Amino acid sequence: MAGELVLVTGGSGFVGSHVIIQLLNAGCQVRTTVRSLKREGEVREMLRVGGVDAGDRLSFAAADLTSDAGWAEAVAGCAYVHHVASPFPPSIPQHEDEVIIPARDGALRVLKAARDAGVKRVVLTSSYAAIGYGQPEQKAPFDETNWTDPNGDDVRAYVKSKTLAERAA
């Protein structure tokens, strides 16, 4: 992977910024998506605080999970994609689809763009939310057969969005 271009979606977020730091430290070139290119300075500062001055090894692409625009350009020339972006509302949304639709459709947009660009591999960041809710307590380790039950009593919009996005992928 060293020297190759890697796209990280959601580079302005906590997990995305840490993925970028690890990739830069491994010698990769990184492009990250942000909804607005005005966030570039903020992301670069977050990385500096994390101990990395990305310089010209980091570039930015404007892309939003709710729109097809920008995704082909974001993945162009990338060997790999780390899909980290997912809506995480600061408060409970009025309707769960405000979180579910962008998470699910956004994951599919990223995968389609990656496929069309000939990307070698996509890594989709998951969450315990996708496996651990809406089912009886379990003592055994979770594995690929476990999924959150989207209709469970303890399943809120974000948890459901992570589950449905991953299942769609």
Active site (catalytic) residues: 162
Identify which of 124, 115, 135, 119 has the alpha carbon closest to the alpha carbon of residue 85: 124
Cα gap 44→36, rounded to integer Å: 14
CA distance 56 to 93: 38
Q: What is d(CA 118, CA 75) in angstroms, rounded to the nearest whole number?
A: 9
Upper half-sphere CA count for residue 156 (Cβ side, 13 Å): 7
Q: Distance between CA 65 and CA 93 in Å, rounded?
A: 17
